[in-house]
Structure formats: C-alpha cells, structure tokens
Structure 1
Amino acid sequence: MTAQRTPPVHVDGPATRITAVDSLRGFSLLGILVVNIAFLASGYRMAGLAEPAFGSTLDWAVRWTVTMFLENKFYLLFSFLFGYSFTLQIDSAARRGLAFTPMFLRRLAGLFVLGLAHAVLLFPGDILTTYAVAGLALLLLRRITPRTAVVLAIVLTCVLAAGFVLLAVLAGAGLDLAGTVSQGTAEAIKSDASLAGSAAQIVAEHLRKLSLIVVLRVLFQGPAVLAACLIGLAVGKLGLLRDLRAHTAALRRLQWIGFTAGLGGAFVYTLSAWTGMVHKFAGEAVDLLTAPLLAAAYAATFLRLLPRLPRLGRALAAPGRMALSNYLAQSLICALIFTGYGLALVDRVSPPLEVLIAVGLFAGQAIYSHWWLRTHRYGPVEWLLRGITYARAPGKAITDPAEFPPRRERA
C-alpha cells in the first residue's frame, strides 16, 4: 500500500469508521497502560516517589524513559480522540434522525458510573469520570467554530500552566505545598499495607486516595483533558482525519514543532520529577505547555507511518475499537497481580518487569480483540454503553462481512 492512498474506512452499521482513528486509539491505549501500570503496582509511585527496593541503573533508565516519553502524553491523545469521536456521534445521530442530546447525556451518565466503579474497586487514577464531565462541556460547546475551539484550548492550557507557575513561586517563598519526602514515604507504606490486604481494605484505600486527588482532578487533569477534547472537536468538525494525504505538510510541521519543543519540555519535567533540579510545580507548568505538542507529534508520526505499516494498523485497530473494555480489563488484571485481590505483588515488581507485563498484556488483548470482533460488532463494555446510550440492546452479531474483514489492508 502506498503512502498516497486515502486511508480506507470500514462499515459500522449506517455510519463509517476510520481505521486510522481506531489504530491511533489502540496505540494510545498501549501508552496509557505502560504509564498506569507503575501506579497500579506501587504505593510509592502513587505517592510520587521511586520504589526504594529498585535502584539499579536499569530501573532508573526505565523510570526516566517512561516519564519523559510517555507520561502525560497518551491520555492527551486519548482525550483528543474523545473529542473527535464526539463529532462522529453528532453526525451519526443526525443521519439517523435521532435526538442527540438525551442520548449523549445517557452515554455520559453510563461512562461516569463505570468510571466511579472503576475508581473505587480497581484504580483511583481512573479517567473515565473526567471524560464524562468533559463531555458535558463539549455538549455545551458543540456549536462553536473550530477556530474558537482551538483558541479556547490554548487559553485553558496557558491559564493552567500559569497556575502552576504561581504555585512554584509560592513554594519558593517558603510555603510547603507539595509535602515532604518523609510524608510521601509514610503515605506509600500505609498504601502498600492496605493494597496487599483484604478486598475491604483495598476499597477503603481507593476511597481515601480519591479524597486526596480530587483537587488534582479538578484543577489539573480536568482542564487538560478538556483542552485536548476541544482540539479533537475542531479536527472532527473540519474532517481532517478522513483524508490524511491532503494534510501531509501539516502533519510534518506538527512533527518538527512537537518533537523539538515537546522533548525539551519533557526533559525539564523529568528532571523535576526525579532529581529536584527543577521545582516540581515549575516542571508541571512546562509539561502542561509542551506535552500536547509532543502528543501531537506522536499522532502525526503514527498517522504518516500507518499507510506503510498496514499490519501494524490492523493489529492496533481491534483493541482500539474495544478501548473501553480493554482499559477496564487492564486495571482488573493488574489488580489481580499487584493487590490483595490476587497475588498481592504491590511494590515487589521492578520497573522493567512492569513494562514487560504491560506489553505482554496488551499483546494478549490485541489477540483477544481480533477474535472477539470476528463474531461481535462491539466490545462487551461498549455493547453495554451503547445499550445505555440508545436505551435498548444493540445488535451483537455481525451481519455485514464488510464490518471487519480479516485480511483486507485497511490502514
């Protein structure tokens, strides 16, 4: 397949799916897992500290690599795709003559409940509830122009970064806003004991952590997610992902700008996270401004490479179509490995082994997703969420062989 061909689509009922979008979603899901597994596996990482049992050169190399190249990048990619998919859902409802607002509100309610259950039972770092709240904002802003959406996203990002600069200044003036290392260590020890305990202890610990990070969600991740969603909204309104060959120059510019500024900012952020050479709040401010650029460079590179790597596109498209099911399954499987729900290996697995587990888990999910989608139109949780959205059970079996052709090059 040549790079000049328009990315093909496959049929999804009356609407169409862009395979490149599904593949990019699968790629993002892998990056999110590699980042999240460290926090699922360690109370120290949730407290912002390195696990004291793992201090080898390889351990630190993995920490630096994940922090610099992956952390705070892939959830932005996923948020971008959430905003982009929002425009596709509006178009789909219009084609079917359905009232969009009540359907989307039911969808957001279902997403919020799923996220809340996920946070309480499996992982307090859940982002589904944040998407549900951001979705309300998208619903209110759905009629804005692409230009206004981009401007609003930039303003949100800059205001958020300015807030962290202010926190850095206040901390420099002597205010203890981030806590001490000893406080973080005590927090991690307490967390480890609970996570390795009974189911009741695990749930209680998750509830306690939720009460501690709610401010982080509201003041930091929420606005960052909304900003990325707004960029996705703008791209969706313009239909830019439907004909990638027409935007090669723009993708190339994103790569140059994103990798240059994004990697520089990521290095500053990594220094702030692990060395103290840059104040943590200052590092967060720099990362807020540059992580979206690096995420955009990743997306541009991925989309430009896809036509040359059709097998990679096919491999990632299936887990991307079942992203919600796979995201929740990742937390469940990791909970069985690292907490008292199963093996209770919390803080007993090294960073390199965590990454290997993440890659192996995702590979298994990719295989399972391909198998599942041969006989089902949607993933299990996607099926449930569609039922909530449309207030009826959606069809399960594939009736159109073009729905998911197993051999045709589609990316």
Structure 2
Amino acid sequence: MKWTPVRDNQRIETLDIMRGIAVLGILLVNMKSFSGPDSPIRALSYEYFDQPYNVWTNVLLEFFVQGNFITMFSFLFGFGIVLMAQRAADHDRSFAPVFLRRQFVLLIFGILHVLLFWYGDILITYALAGLLMLLFYRLPRNALLITGLILITAYSLFMTILTYDFWTSGSALTFQSAQNDYHEHEISRSIQIYSEGSFSEIIQERIKEWTDLNRYFLFLIAGLLPMFLFGAYAAKKRTFTNKVLWRIWFLTLVLGPGSKLLPVIFFPSKGEDWRYDTAMSWGYEFGGAMMSIFYICSIVLLYRSGRSKYLFNLFQYTGRMAFTNYLTQSIIATTIFYSYGLGFYGEFGPLAGVIFAASIFCLQVLFSKWWLQRYYYGPLEWVWRTLTYGKKQRLKRIDKGSV
C-alpha cells in the first residue's frame, strides 16, 4: 500500500495549534540570542540590562516562556513519531528506514541552520535525540509514562543538587566574580563580530558558540527525552476525557507554575547565595516540563469549549508551517541584527526583543494563512516530506482558499 504524509483531512487540529503557540514561545526566548550575546549576559552575576522594565521582562519570560516551549515541541515530536509508526503499520510498511531518512534530513537542515544563520539550533538535537525513540516507541503506553516521569524527576533532581552543591561549597561566588570580566569581554567581542564582522567571521563565531552551547549535549538530551516519551504516551492513549484533562491541569498547575515561581521569589538573591540558582535549576528543568503539559491541557480544554476559536485558527496556520516558520525566524532576525543586514546586534534589551518577536510572528501568521490557501504544505515542510518519502509530494492546491 502507498504510504504518504498526512493530508488535510487527516490532521489533528489541536496539534497544529500547539505547534503554532510553541513557535511563538520559542521565538520569544530565542530573540534574546538573536539580538545580542545572551549566553555571556546570563552568566554574569548581575543584571546586564538593569532598567526595571528590562529586568521585569526577563523575569516574566523566565516564568511564562523559558524552558516551557522547547519541551512542548519535544512532546509534539514524540507524539508525531508514534503517529508516523502507526501509519506505517496501517500501510504494512517498515517504519525504521523512513524514520531514519527523516531524521537524517532534519540533521542536514540543522547543520545548514547553524552554519548559515544561527548557533542556537534545536534541529540537530532533535535529529539525534529522536533516534533514541527507536528504543522506546514500541513500549506500552503506561511504560512510556512511568519511564518519562522517572527520567524527568531524576534528571531535575540531579541538576538541582549539582547547583546546590556548587553554591554551598563556597566556590560559586569566587568563580562568578572571577568570570565576570571574562563574560564582559565575551559580550564586547560578540557584539563587535555580529554587528561589524564579515560573513566568514560570523560563521566561525557561530560554530564556536554552537560548540560551547552543546558541550553538555547528553544533558540536553536527558532533559528532552522525557517529553518525547510523554508525547508518545499521549499518542497511544489518544482519547483524554475532560475529567482526566482537568485532573492533569490541576496537578501541573501546582508542579509547573509552582516550580517556576521559586526563582521569581528568590530573584533578589541572584548572584549572592544558593537560593536563586538552585531554584532556577529546578524551575527550568522540572518546572518547564510540567508547565508545558499545563499549557497543553489548557489549550485542549479551551479548544473543546469552543472559545477563542479565531485566535486558535491563527496559531493553526503557523503550526502547520512550524518547520518553515522556525527557520525563517532565524533568517529574518539575523538579517535585522547582523552586520550583513541592519547591524542592530547588541543595541536592544529584552523588552525591545519581545516587540520584535511579536512583530515577526504577526507577519508569519499572515504569510502562513496566505501560503496555505494556495499550497498543501509549507515550503520547507514540502522539501522535508519529499526527501523523507523519496517521492515528490503534491504542493499546489487545485482550488485556492480551501485550507
């Protein structure tokens, strides 16, 4: 039997809506790295953008956005893997070869993304970490859930204990003080290269920053794998009653926002003692995972209620083109901030970054709606599917206007 990508009438609308919302959340986080040297700024023991409006923008981003949407994408990634495996079984086709080709194509896109546009790429991580799902996707759904819960709890505790030990050992304050000058130098160097350097210099800097960011690659995978498993569990269960969703909603309301609130409470002690960084470690790892599930339940419950339908439709357009939108965000943002574009790198703080992100996303909503009225897939989705299935996919719609 012929095995092809899902058609319009086979799509799950809530998944597309979640992808669209996740694309916005990831842009809000990434904008700080698009517009300036976020990594060394975050490593400072004090606030680099110390204006009250920028401080509170950072605090709100940390609570509502940071770590919450990369985990949502991971959940959706795991969900999609199980759907793909089930469709392969329904068509009596082998899943692994096509899945491996899909991951390889994703890896190539990720490498090009790093070399040509931005160091903070997540596609390479998904391409490699996704391979682990070949070991898990056949597990019974309850085994997926239990394994995911054990992994996310153990990993979060491990990272939190490491942070606590680092601070209580007395070495943290000495280390941070000694590193402040180094990070300030890195900030100045990064601004000079990205705002004034040549394209080849920028490529070299991107490779260096990608290497630094992925120095602890296995830790990053350990943080994402549980969400893959939760997504796979949800795909196998498929039907969640409103009663069950409300129970999960209330539980994750306590575990998600509750965990993320801790670093907000201890924010005044940032750089002074163990409380802020330890709370941030737990809040980012465990809180981010629980917050994403809280968001997912909220989206599904709102969707089922019939409220905010127009708003959800807008996110659905961007979600159906999530791959294209994710990569074009890098193209647009780096053109605005890098030397080969407008050269605004390092000139704007977090609040301005939020405004830039909102503006770019609004343009993507308009473009996604226009494109999908004329074509079945986003342009990069079409390339990905064509290379994955080894056959040119139909792109142009016969009747315009039907999405």
TM-score with structure 2 setting the length: 0.89
Secondary structure of 1:86's match? helix
Q: 1:163 aligns with which of 158, 163, 179?
A: 158
Where structure 1 has 5 or more consecutive residues not aligned to the other structure, the ranges are 1-10, 241-245, 407-411
Does structure 1 residue 332 correspond to structure 2 residue 298? no
User: Which of 6, 12, 15 is equivalent to 1:18?
Assistant: 12
Confirm or deny that 1:391 pairs with 2:390.
Answer: yes
Task: Name the residue aligned to 1:127.
Answer: 122
SS state at 1:72 partner: coil
Shift of 1:19: 0.8
Ranges in structure 2 where 5+ consecutive residues have no aligned partner: none
Task: Specify the alignment match of 1:255 in structure 2.
Answer: 249
Match of 1:65 in 2: 60
Greater shift in the superposed pair: 274-283 or 36-45: 274-283
Q: Do the aligned residues in 2 keep the contact of 1:20 with 1:303 (CA within 8 Å)?
A: yes
Give the deviation of 1:282 after TM superposition.
Answer: 5.0
Corresponding position of 1:109 = 104
Q: Distance in 2 between matches of 1:62 and 1:250?
A: 34
1:218-237 to 2 correspondences below 5 Å: 218-219=218-219, 221-237=220-236
- 2:298 equivalent in structure 1: 301
Deviation at 1:297, TM superposition (A): 1.1
CA distance in structure 1 between the partners assigned to 2:267 and 2:324 by the alignment: 31
Count of residue pairs brought into register by the alignment: 388
1:3 is matched with none
Shift of 1:352: 1.7
Asked whether the equivalents of residues 22 and 72 of structure 2 are also in contact (C-alpha less than 8 Å), the reply is yes
Alignment partners' CA distance in 1, 2:88 and 2:9: 10
Distance 1:30 1:65, change over 3 A: same
The aligned runs of 1:4-43 (5 Å cut-off) are 12-13=6-7, 16-43=10-37
Equivalent position to 2:141, from 126, 139, 146: 146
Q: Is the 8 A contact 1:110 1:385 kept in 2?
A: yes
- DSSP-derived class of the 1:215 partner: coil
Q: What do the CA deviations read for 1:210-261 (whole angstroms, capped 9, x no partner)?
A: 2212223321x21121110110000001113xxxxx5212222222222223
CA distance in 2: counterparts of 1:383 and 1:351, whole angstroms: 34
- In structure 2, the CA distance between the partners of 1:20 and 1:214, relative to structure 1 (3 Å rule), is same
Query: 1:269·1:287 contact (CA, 8 Å) conserved in 2?
Result: no
Q: Which amino acid counterpart does residue 188 of structure 2 have in structure 1?
A: I
Deviation by residue 1:144-165 (Cα, 9 ceiling, x = unmatched): 1111111221222123223321
The answer to which of 36-45 and 324-333 deviates more is 36-45
Which stretch shifts more, 181-190 or 310-319? 181-190
Deviates more, 1:308-317 or 1:157-166: 157-166
**Percent identical across equivalent pairs?**
26
Shift of 1:399: 4.8
Task: Using the TM superposition, give the Cα deviation of residue 133 of structure 1 relative to its aligned residue in structure 2, in angstroms.
Answer: 1.5
The 5 Å alignment of 1:284-323 reads: 284-306=281-303, 307-323=306-322
Which residue is equivalent to 1:199? Answer: 199
CA distance in 1, matches of 2:319, 2:310: 14
Shift of 1:86: 1.0
CA distance in 2, matches of 1:129, 1:283: 26
SS in 2 for 1:405: coil
Q: Which amino acid aligns with 2:165?
A: V
For residues 20 and 397 of structure 1, the distance between their equivalents in structure 2, rounded to whole angstroms, comes to: 24
Aligned partners of 1:133 and 1:334: how far apart in 2? 26
1:357 aligns with 2:356: yes
Question: What CA distance in whole angstroms lies between the structure 2 residues aligned with 1:64 and 1:94?
Answer: 46
Q: Is the 8 A contact 1:38 1:45 kept in 2?
A: no
SS in 2 for 1:180: helix
Give the deviation of 1:114 after TM superposition: 0.7
